[in-house]
């Protein structure tokens, strides 16, 4: 039995005459993701990188003409030439500037297998070479990850301990979902989603009579439940809505004073602010109506329902991916604390139910097989979304989580397993920054913009072309991912590429420890058996696992309720916060003295420029980020070959735009083209476009070129959420949209770059 584990599901690859013809979803999965169907055609498409390639002027003289990145042809070279070049450049940069001139932050999801995890491979390699400048946090949860340890506890701990769907079906009465529970997002989990849980969970909750409230600009962010109210909130205003809900609870005595006294600190200071004692403005429903567009009476009604019923308050990650993104997360916790149901079955708060498949599985996960990265001797790092700032401003200082830090001076960037031209904001600004380093190296499978804008491009295998182990936290199955086809072109595993460079640099022994990839699989599997045992999970021996092709992990029976132990005994099980309690006021955050993130949750007016439409760039249904945008499923979703942009009927009519049109979407940072879907299921004043359409400028390498394909990061803002987290603020952007009546430029995103000899 052969399986491939992808971030969005388990599939059996069907191979005929050495060619991958289809991906059959695992038979046990009742709600498989259609994204798998994109792979067979894409994997050998012309977009595949077949051979190592070097930018022409760079090959002639390393470091020369960085301004020609993305513009000039590549020259295909042999593996030996390419690996010699990589080794020589690494050595030179290290000798001239030290390891702190190498950026290996290399953000990105790569592929699901645990050994061939590109980032782990890169980090281990660079650590063996003396270290690199790393990145911390994520684009997913930039603000949340930094905030939560101050007020409740570490994000990974919380995510792993979420109240189970099963428990919610039994005990929850009202599920209030800020940002909804989008089925599109629950397709995925990092490392694998072998069995999809959300649709079953929503069915069971509906059957049990749970009422849902979808607080979102998009109606479809929650579909399925029978009792489902849609509150089409203005994006970025949820904190005001939550404050008004809190206001009603407190002023009507619906809050739980005993819970607050026993389990939280700082309530009184927050209450003074809430009631208006601090700034003269009570945060009442009338105040919130003006900010959120949700009628005051509906806010009051919802607060009363929340006060009466067993209520789960859930917030999607998306809400914190914005300027002041800490606030909606902090208010979610505060609101749940006021209700006093934290630690009780069916109540409390959730951080991202529906964002990832495995959240709410109720299984106590163990740490599965992983490839050790070693220690990094270089201490300089950046919060991941500050990468452009770093490249543009070496030596400049910045604030982060109570500390003042300095941007290092980067000369060489090494990337494996991510696509910065997908994930980073304000691509025109990135393009400027991208000219700064002397050397850009990437391992890629496909000719993404990340590859096209690099100097040295090394072709990597896909998961189908190598053996690996699929294992994701709390996932139902561990999968033996057995190679299905031979590597396409001259592609090599990231491991083999790094081993090749390490041997040229004289540290092959420490990088490989004498093992080939197959021996590593056995080794990391065996290592994980002990960790599994600590959680009462017995893994079969490696040979049996590999022979059987899969192992259904038998998780000990649990009825997980988030923070139950803390509620049962806050003295024996204090939270890992300074006070041991939930911090409605955080002395520590207050001590940082950040105006953009003070000591308790607040409404801070967003610095929004005057354009009339708010741009939501959310996660795509038809792919994972930019992965397989060139696949059949994603391409079938396009409108006139461009990424679809959804606009409200009234906004479309005002602008003379109809369904199927192509429009130009623009603001002060740039412009892109998109294909239009006109809909009543998006609130007025908001346009929505998924992330992930490959960057496709009309004039590659030129600043301020029009993107003809629909990459929203052309015009999103590259600013930190606050001085506390410096998280990504992709959701804070306003735009205007106009009909495109000029000839349509051809899409070239999926074409390989020009090649020369």
Nearer to ligand MGD, 567 or 606 (CB): 606
Task: Tell the smallest beta-carbon distance from residue 454 to ligand MGD (Å).
Answer: 12
Minimal distance, residue 20 CB to ligand MGD, in Å: 16
SS (H, E, C) 460-497: ECCHHHCCEEECCCCCCEEEEECCCCCCCCCCECHHHH
Residue 318 binds which entry of ligand MGD, Mo ion, none, CB below 5-8 Å type-dependent:
ligand MGD
Q: Looking at residues 354 to 413 of the shown chain, list those that interact with Mo ion (rule: CB under 5 A).
A: none
Identify what 225 binds: ligand MGD, Mo ion, none; CB under 5 to 8 Å per kind: none
* Catalytic-role residue among 109, 353, 453, 525: 109
What is the smallest separation between the CB atom of 757 and ligand MGD, expressed in angstroms? 26
Phi and psi of 302, rounded to 5°?
Answer: -65, -45
Q: What minimum distance in Å lies between the beta carbon of 743 and ligand MGD?
A: 28
Which among ligand MGD, Mo ion, none contacts residue 187 (Cβ within 5 to 8 A by kind)? ligand MGD
Instruction: Tell me which stretch binds ligand MGD (CB under 6 A): 242-250, 542-550, 709-717, 744-752.
Output: 709-717
Query: Is 221 or 326 the residue whose CB approaches ligand MGD more closely?
Result: 221
Indicate the residue among 316 and 717 with the shorter CB distance to Mo ion. 316
Helix runs in 401-476, H state only: 420-423, 427-433, 449-452
Residue 211 or 627: the one with the smaller Cβ distance to ligand MGD is 627
CB 399 within 8 A of CB 429: no
Tell me the pairing of strands 456-459 and 53-55: antiparallel
> Please, are residues 688 and 645 in contact by the beta-carbon 8 Å criterion?
yes
Cβ neighbours of residue 84 closer than 8 Å, sequence gap 6 or more? 504
DSSP per-residue string spanning 284-329: -HHHHHHHH---HHHHHHHHHHHHHS-EEEEE-GGGGSSTTTHHHH
Pick from 247, 329, 326: nearest CA to 284: 247
Q: Are 684 and 648 in contact (CB under 8 A)?
A: yes
Pick 106 or 140: Cβ nearer Mo ion: 140
Q: What does the alpha-carbon distance between residue 230 and residue 212 come to, in Å, rounded to a whole number?
A: 9
Determine, following the binding rule CB under 6 A, whether residue 217 of this chain makes contact with ligand MGD.
yes
The item of Mo ion, ligand MGD, none sharing an interface with residue 55, based on CB under 5 to 8 Å by kind, is none
> Pairing between strand 734-739 and 613-616?
antiparallel
Of 137 and 409, CB closest to Mo ion: 137
From 431, 434, 423, 496, select the one nearest 459 (Cα to Cα).
496
Cβ–Cβ under 8 Å, residues 479 and 9: no
Shortest Å distance, C-beta 144 to Mo ion: 11
162 binds ligand MGD (CB under 6 A): no
Residue of the chain from 264, 626, 646, 725 that contacts ligand MGD (CB under 6 A): 626
Q: Does 448 bind ligand MGD (CB under 6 A)?
A: yes
| Binds ligand MGD by CB under 6 A, chosen from 6, 316, 464, 589 | 316
Can you read off the two tokens belonging to residue 654? Answer: 């005002």
User: Which range, of 48-56, 90-98, 134-142, 235-243, touches Mo ion by CB under 5 A?
Assistant: 134-142
C-alpha dihedral, 630 to 634 to 636 to 637, nearest 10° = -140
β-strand partners of 287? none
- Asked if 49 touches ligand MGD (CB under 6 A), the answer is no
Nearest to 737 by CA among 691, 678, 694: 678
The one of ligand MGD, Mo ion, none whose footprint includes residue 144, by CB under 5 to 8 A per kind, is none
**Residues 93-132, mask of contacts with Mo ion (x by CB under 5 A):** ----------------------------------------
Nearest Cα residue to 197 out of 164, 237, 222, 230: 164
Asked if residues 601 and 5 have their Cβ atoms less than 8 Å apart, the reply is: no
Among 162, 196, 271, 621, binds ligand MGD (CB under 6 A): 621
Residue 140 sits in the site that holds Mo ion (CB under 5 A): yes
Binding residues for Mo ion, how many (CB under 5 A)?
1
Q: Which two tokens stand for residue 461?
A: 């295998």
Count CB atoms within 10 A of the CB of residue 556. 9
Q: How many residues bind ligand MGD (CB under 6 A)?
A: 62
Q: Which one of Mo ion, ligand MGD, none is in contact with 436 (Cβ closer than 5 to 8 A by kind)?
A: none
Contact positions with ligand MGD (CB under 6 A) in 176-205: 178-180, 182, 184-185, 187-188
Measured from the CB atom, is 265 or 682 closer to ligand MGD?
682
3-state secondary structure of 642: strand
* Residue 649 to residue 659: CA distance in whole angstroms: 9
Catalytic residue among 107, 400, 633, 740: 107
Q: 366 is written with which tokens?
A: 């163990």
Q: Examine the residue annotation and report whether 107 is marked as an active-site residue of this protein.
A: yes
| Token pair for 273 | 């602010």
According to CB under 6 A, which one of 164, 167, 439, 445 is a site residue for ligand MGD? 445
Smallest separation, CB 663 to ligand MGD (Å): 18
Q: Is 109 a catalytic residue?
A: yes
**Residue 310 near ligand MGD by CB under 6 A:** no
| Residue 109 binding target from ligand MGD, Mo ion, none, CB below 5 to 8 Å by type | ligand MGD
CB closer to ligand MGD, 177 vs 339: 177
Q: Which residue number is nearest to Mo ion in terms of Cβ?
A: 140
Nearer to ligand MGD (CB atom), residue 124 or residue 625 = 625
> Could you give the CA distance from residue 740 to residue 723 in angstroms, rounded to a whole number?
39
Contact segment (CB under 5 A) with Mo ion among 138-146, 584-592, 655-663, 716-724 equals 138-146
Residue of 116, 606, 635, 638 interacting with ligand MGD (CB under 6 A): 116
Please say which residue, 715 or 728, places its beta carbon nearer to Mo ion: 728
The helix/strand/coil state of 182 is coil
Residue 79 and residue 170: Cα distance in Å, rounded?
59
Alpha carbon of 497 to those of 51, 160, 175, 398: distances in Å? 13, 34, 49, 35
Nearest to 443, CA basis, from 176, 52, 145? 52
171/630 with CB nearer ligand MGD: 630
Question: Interface with ligand MGD includes 104 (CB under 6 A)?
Answer: no
> Based on the number of CB atoms within 10 Å of its own CB, is 604 exposed (0-12), middle (13-18) or buried (19 or more)?
middle
Residues with catalytic annotation? Answer: 107, 109
Residues at the interface with Mo ion (CB under 5 A): 140
Residues at the interface with ligand MGD (CB under 6 A): 107-111, 116, 118, 139-140, 178-180, 182, 184-185, 187-188, 215-218, 221, 233, 235-236, 238, 316-319, 321, 355-356, 416-419, 422-423, 443-446, 448, 460, 494, 616-621, 624-627, 691, 712-713, 716, 730-731
């Amino acid at each position: 039995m052969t399986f491939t584990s992808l971030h969005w599901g388990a599939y059996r690859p069907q191979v005929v005459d050495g060619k991958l013809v289809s991906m059959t979803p695992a038979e046990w999965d009742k709600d498989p993701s259609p994204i798998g169907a994109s792979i067979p055609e894409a994997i050998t498409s012309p977009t595949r990188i077949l051979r190592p390639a070097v930018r022409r002027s760079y090959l002639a003289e390393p470091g020369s003409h960085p301004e020609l990145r993305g513009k000039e042809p590549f020259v295909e070279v042999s593996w030996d030439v390419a690996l010699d070049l990589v080794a020589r450049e690494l050595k030179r940069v290290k000798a001239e500037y030290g390891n702190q001139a190498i950026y290996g932050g290399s953000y990105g999801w790569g592929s699901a297998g645990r050994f061939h995890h590109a980032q782990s491979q890169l980090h281990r390699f660079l650590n063996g070479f003396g270290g690199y400048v790393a990145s911390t946090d994520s684009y997913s949860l930039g603000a949340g990850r930094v905030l939560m340890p101050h007020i409740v506890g570490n994000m990974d701990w919380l995510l792993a301990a979420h109240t189970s769907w099963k428990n919610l079906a039994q005990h929850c009465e009202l599920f209030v979902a800020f940002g909804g529970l989008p089925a599109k997002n629950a397709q995925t989990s990092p490392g694998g989603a072998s069995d999809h849980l959300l649709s079953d969970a929503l069915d069971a909750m509906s059957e049990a009579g749970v009422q849902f409230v979808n607080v979102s600009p998009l109606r479809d962010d929650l579909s399925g439940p029978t009792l489902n109210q849609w509150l089409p909130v203005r994006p970025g205003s949820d904190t005001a809505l939550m404050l008004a809900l809190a206001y009603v609870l407190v002023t009507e005595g619906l809050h739980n004073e005993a819970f607050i006294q026993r389990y939280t600190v700082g309530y009184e200071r927050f209450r003074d602010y809430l009631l208006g004692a601090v700034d003269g403005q009570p945060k009442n429903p009338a105040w919130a109506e003006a900010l959120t567009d949700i009628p005051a009476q509906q806010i009051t009604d919802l607060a009363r329902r929340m006060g009466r019923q067993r209520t789960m308050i859930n917030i999607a990650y998306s809400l914190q991916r914005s300027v002041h993104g800490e606030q909606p997360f902090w208010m979610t916790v505060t609101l749940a604390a006021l209700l006093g149901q934290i630690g009780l079955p069916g109540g409390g708060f959730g951080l991202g139910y529906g964002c990832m498949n495995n959240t709410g599985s109720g299984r106590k996960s163990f740490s599965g097989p992983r490839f050790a990265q070693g220690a990094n001797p270089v201490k300089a790092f950046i919060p991941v979304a500050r990468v452009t700032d770093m490249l543009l401003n070496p030596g400049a200082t910045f604030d982060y989580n109570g500390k003042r830090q300095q941007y290092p001076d980067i000369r060489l960037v090494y990337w494996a397993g991510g696509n910065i031209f997908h994930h980073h904001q304000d691509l025109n600004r990135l393009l400027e920054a991208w000219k700064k380093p002397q050397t850009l190296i990437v391992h890629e499978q496909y000719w993404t913009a990340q590859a096209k804008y690099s100097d040295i491009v090394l072709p990597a295998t896909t998961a189908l072309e190598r053996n690996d182990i699929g294992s994701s936290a709390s996932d139902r199955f561990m999968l033996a991912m057995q190679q299905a086809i031979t590597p396409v072109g001259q592609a090599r595993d990231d491991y083999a590429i790094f081993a090749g460079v390490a041997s040229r640099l004289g540290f092959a022994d420490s990088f490989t420890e004498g093992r080939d990839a197959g021996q590593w699989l056995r080794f990391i599997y065996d290592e994980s058996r002990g960790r599994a045992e600590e959680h009462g999970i017995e893994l079969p021996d490696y040979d049996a696992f590999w022979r059987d092709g899969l192992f259904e992990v038998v998780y000990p029976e649990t009825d997980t309720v988030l923070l139950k132990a803390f509620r049962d005994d806050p003295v024996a099980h204090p939270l890992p916060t300074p006070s041991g309690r939930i911090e409605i006021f955080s002395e520590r955050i207050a001590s940082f003295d950040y105006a953009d993130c003070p000591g308790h949750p607040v409404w801070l007016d967003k610095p929004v420029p005057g354009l009339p439409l708010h741009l939501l760039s959310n996660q795509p249904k038809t792919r994972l980020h930019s992965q397989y945008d060139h696949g059949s499923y994603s391409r079938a979703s396009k409108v006139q070959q461009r990424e679809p942009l959804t606009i409200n009927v009234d906004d479309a009519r005002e602008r003379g735009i109809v369904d199927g049109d192509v429009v130009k979407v623009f603001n002060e940072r740039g412009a892109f083209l998109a294909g239009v879907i006109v809909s009543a299921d998006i609130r007025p004043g908001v346009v929505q476009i998924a992330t992930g359409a490959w960057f496709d400028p009309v004039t590659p390498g030129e600043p301020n070129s029009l993107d003809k394909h629909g990459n929203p990061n052309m015009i999103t803002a590259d600013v930190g959420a606050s001085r506390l987290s410096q998280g990504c603020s992709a959701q804070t952007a306003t735009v205007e949209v106009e009909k495109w009546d000029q000839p349509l430029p051809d899409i070239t995103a999926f074409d390989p770059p020009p090649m020369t000899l």
